[in-house]
Structure 1
Amino acid sequence: MPAATVKLTKRAVDAMVANERRYVLWDAELKGFGVRVEPSGAKSFILRYRAGGRGSAKRFITLGKYGVITPEEARRSARDQLGLVARGSDPAKDKARQKAAATIADVAQRFLAEHVTPKRKAATIASYRHALMARIVPEFGLLRAEAVTRADVARLHSHLSAKPATANYVLAVLSSLYSWCDRQGLVPEGYNPVVRVDRYRQQGRERYLTSEELQRLGNALHEAESVGLPWTIDARSPKAKHLPRPENRKTVLDPGAIAAIRLLILTGARLREILHLRWQEIDFERSLAFLPDSKTGRKTLTLSSPALVILRGLPRTASPFVVAGSREGRPRADLQRPWAAICRSADLPGVRLHDLRHTFASIGAGESLGLPIVGKLLGHTQPQTTARYAHLDANPLRQAADLIASRINKALNFRPSTAKEQ
């Protein structure tokens, strides 16, 4: 049987021979550091320690196989691990936890089921699920959550550079996932590889309709509900020759869809706030709509006189919703198809339904109603959300500039030259 302790050098380890049973040769200099020899002849460096000091159970951790690491490398690793023990860590327990740690695919499913689904709106749940299952899990799904590095995240972000908004959103979802993992104890405390990965700069997507564009929109809406909008057809289609004459290729749009679009521009409401609006939530006497569950929670929507005219003109059906859907008892799902037809007719390429909300806000800011009032009408809960419209609140600045310039001009006695004087 070999000596109980010896300084573990390459020569000493090479001299160790296999036995019928496993045995350990301990280092004479570093307590707890040893070499374990298997009956097969395989040799591994190990470390024995007590995580809680004297009286606590002995713990073992494998440092590496001889041949893969040298005795001196194993000795340095053993010293590092003993340093962690001295600071209160338990390397064996940490290693077991890492081995049993869930993969990104596992924690993503838990994150969706336990956090996102119970606490987020349907649209947010869908966008989170898409970011996780279409972007994050295919990239990192088989990795342990704490094995994903900042370099890995930066590489994924770079792969999505053609779509900066998507790339930044994926980072936001991944960061939210890691914050949840931290709270659940699934990763080391404070571990988040998304931190300090720079986001792409994004251009603002606000689009405001001008007075002339609003007039074209109004004309298109009137045409859509009266004579109808022209069809769009593929003239190359074999069936094209059997279609009605061009003057007869028109479709009158659903009155509910037309009313919904008008309500969006006249109230500045979000799309779902109008499509999910119920008759019982409207107080015609006080010109208010009490929304129980908007994007920012409970919200009171102020209804203008033109908006009330539209609401009073809509037929009351068996549906509880102001804009009834095709399925009984359900709201209309979306307005994309009628909105696309109206945008073609009004020559408004690229204008989104959400831009009607921006237009409502821009007119309010441009008329110097004050950003707090505009924010209240829009249902913003944070002043900084409304601050994006600050540059449109130009009237006070223009009045101030005119006042200052006129005083200076008077002092200068400046009189512009006319063509005759020149």
Structure 2
Amino acid sequence: MAKVAFTAGRVSGFKCPPDKAQAFLWDVTTRGLGLRATPAGKPSYVFQSEFQGKTIRLVIGAPDAWRIPQAQEKARHLQRMIDQGTDPRTLKRDALAAAAEQAKAAAERIEAEKVAALTVGDAWAVYLTERRPKWGARHFQDHIDKAAPGGVPSTRRGYEKHLTQPGPLAALMPLPLRDLDAPTIEAWAAKEAKTRPTSARLAWRLLKVFLRWCEDQSQYAGLLPAKNPAKTQKSREALGKAAVKKDVLQRGQLAAWFEAVRQIQNPVIAAALQIMLLTGARPGEVLGLRWDDVNTRWKGISIRDKVEGTREIPATPYVLHLLAGLPRRNEWVFSSPTSADGRLTVVNNPHTRACQIAGLDDLTPHGLRRSFKSLTEWLEIPAGVVAQIMGHKPSATAEKHYTVRPLELLALHHEKIEAWILEQAGVQFIPRAEPGRLALAT
């Protein structure tokens, strides 16, 4: 092999002839040091020698990265290893493996640091995205509201110039997830219980389920204590127990309530509230009705039930009358032209104002559901019938496994309930003889 003294000019000017696969230029001053070039690639320094009777060749690096003295020193170092009985290829493999292990450890350390810096809000956002398909709209909105940072203009009527307050969980969202321990949650519970215990209790229940979900996620489990930090006696005692809700319409209050509600200027809201009372359905179930859920031919309404999925209840005469007077703007029965999703989602404020006019205090839309159940006690209606209309789980073996009530049978009882409530309220209503045509009696 021809050898030359490596100079900058000779190295930079070395090319591989186009008719050859590769070409070599060897250094006369350093044993084993060469320059290899191919027609398509850039030249690189190589070291070639013999180890245990076999020729070995190692790549040192490109001339752009290695100056000639550096390449010569590297070649001499590799030759000394061979002279000492060490295979430089093994050493290189070991160095590469060590470098790979270091890179892997560095990547794992960076990932661990990212996970350690993960905030409650980061995990909360992932949780909501994953679980939203399995939740109802109201339940999902509760999670949004309880963690909302606040500070945006209020959408409540008459409060447009006010900014919203942070939700109970907002103070926990910026915390690193690993710092969400029992003492932190207990201090949070004690503070929130002083100003908004009811809202804080709901937020606490949502937080407990969220942390249980985190325990099942490999990327979060190592950041949390072995025991759910929200499930402590101190947190539970600080928030207290919810008082038994007794907001309910008495028989003697029906006339005042109906009069005030029927005077609400928005007929959609007025109809929704009356249907909540007359069906005993949950407010969210009523407001979530679509026109496809109403079967005027067979006098049935399909309710999206949080217990059974769906349940069929009778469409009683006065309820059908109310539905017949509603505008069909879109798919929603209780539509709203100003709502983002085209429907009513809450009716609390109009109902509160109507109750104030009627002289009724603290009656909530959900209290109308309790009112339906309570008012049926005045009639000889089987408890199983009322439970089936309201969507309560059967409470006895006979109800659960042996009693099957068709819609027609439910309607006999439900129409009796509706007629009695209207009678007590002083609402004169006579269904017309023609099917589907109903009117208030004059």
Q: Name the TM-score class by shorter chain.
A: 0.5 to 0.7
Instruction: Give the aligned partner of residue 182 of structure 1.
Output: 215
Q: Is the 8 A contact 1:279 1:321 kept in 2?
A: yes
Q: Is the 8 A contact 2:121 2:174 kept in 1?
A: yes
Residue 334 of structure 2, aligned match among 314, 319, 323: 323
Q: Identify the structure with bigger relative contact order (alpha carbons < 8 Å, sequence gap 6+).
A: 2
Letter in 1 for 2:187: R
Instruction: Give the aligned partner of residue 132 of structure 1.
Output: 147
Alignment of 1:74-223 (within 5 A): 97=112, 100-101=115-116, 102-115=118-131, 117-133=132-148, 134-136=167-169, 138-139=171-172, 141-145=174-178, 147-162=179-194, 163-185=196-218, 186-188=220-222, 190-198=226-234, 199=236, 200-222=240-262
Compute the displacement of 1:337 (Å): 4.6
Alignment of 1:218-229 (within 5 A): 218-222=258-262, 224=263
Letter in 2 for 1:372: G
Structure 1 residues 152 and 94: CA distance shift in structure 2, 3 A? farther
Q: Is the 8 A contact 1:150 1:197 kept in 2?
A: no
Letter in 2 for 1:152: T
Q: Is the 8 A contact 1:265 1:359 kept in 2?
A: yes
Structure 1 residues 204 and 96: CA distance shift in structure 2, 3 A? same
Instruction: Give the aligned partner of residue 262 of structure 1.
Output: 274
SS in 1 for 2:373: helix
Compute the displacement of 1:362 (Å): 1.2
2:230 and 2:210 mapped to 1: Cα distance? Answer: 10
Q: Is the 8 A contact 2:168 2:192 kept in 1?
A: no
SS in 2 for 1:138: coil
Instruction: Give the aligned partner of residue 396 of structure 1.
Output: none
SS in 1 for 2:216: helix
Q: Is the 8 A contact 2:335 2:342 kept in 1?
A: yes
TM-score by length of 2: 0.52
1:274 and 1:99 mapped to 2: Cα distance? Answer: 45
Compute the displacement of 1:218 (Å): 2.4
Letter in 1 for 2:366: H
Post-superposition CA distance 1:257-290 (Å, at most 9, x none)? 3222221111112223333323332223432111
Structure 1 residues 137 and 213: CA distance shift in structure 2, 3 A? closer
SS in 1 for 2:127: helix
Structure 1 residues 194 and 318: CA distance shift in structure 2, 3 A? closer
1:94 and 1:175 mapped to 2: Cα distance? Answer: 30
Structure 1: give runs of 5+ residues left out of the alignment.
1-56, 58-92, 225-251, 385-422
SS in 2 for 1:160: helix
Post-superposition CA distance 1:104-161 (Å, at most 9, x none)? 232222222223x23222222222133335434524633343x432222111111112
Letter in 1 for 2:193: S
Letter in 2 for 1:344: Q
Q: Is the 8 A contact 1:157 1:167 kept in 2?
A: yes
Q: Is the 8 A contact 1:164 1:201 kept in 2?
A: no
2:212 and 2:355 mapped to 1: Cα distance? Answer: 42
Post-superposition CA distance 1:363-415 (Å, at most 9, x none)? 2245453443322111134759xxxxxxxxxxxxxxxxxxxxxxxxxxxxxxx
Letter in 2 for 1:324: S
Q: Is the 8 A contact 2:277 2:368 kept in 1?
A: yes
Aligned residues: 261
Structure 1 residues 331 and 144: CA distance shift in structure 2, 3 A? closer
Post-superposition CA distance 1:69-102 (Å, at most 9, x none)? xxxxxxxxxxxxxxxxxxxxxxxx9999588433
Structure 1 residues 151 and 336: CA distance shift in structure 2, 3 A? closer
Post-superposition CA distance 1:33-69 (Å, at most 9, x none)? xxxxxxxxxxxxxxxxxxxxxxxx9xxxxxxxxxxxx
Alignment of 1:212-291 (within 5 A): 212-222=252-262, 224=263, 253-291=265-303
Letter in 1 for 2:229: P
Q: Is the 8 A contact 2:257 2:355 kept in 1?
A: yes
Alignment of 1:278-357 (within 5 A): 278-291=290-303, 293-296=304-307, 297-312=309-324, 314=325, 317-327=328-338, 330-357=342-369
Structure 1 residues 161 and 210: CA distance shift in structure 2, 3 A? same
Structure 1 residues 270 and 150: CA distance shift in structure 2, 3 A? same
Max Rg structure: 2
Compute the displacement of 1:255 (Å): 2.8
Moved segments of 4+, more than 6 Å: 93-96
Q: Is the 8 A contact 1:153 1:197 kept in 2?
A: no
2:374 and 2:110 mapped to 1: Cα distance? Answer: 57
1:324 and 1:121 mapped to 2: Cα distance? Answer: 18
- Percent identity between matched residues is 20
Q: Is the 8 A contact 2:138 2:284 kept in 1?
A: no
Letter in 2 for 1:284: T
1:383 and 1:95 mapped to 2: Cα distance? Answer: 55
Q: Is the 8 A contact 2:256 2:358 kept in 1?
A: yes
Compute the displacement of 1:209 (Å): 0.8
Letter in 1 for 2:321: V
Instruction: Give the aligned partner of residue 51 of structure 1.
Output: none
Q: CA RMSD in A?
A: 3.3
Q: Is the 8 A contact 2:181 2:229 kept in 1?
A: yes
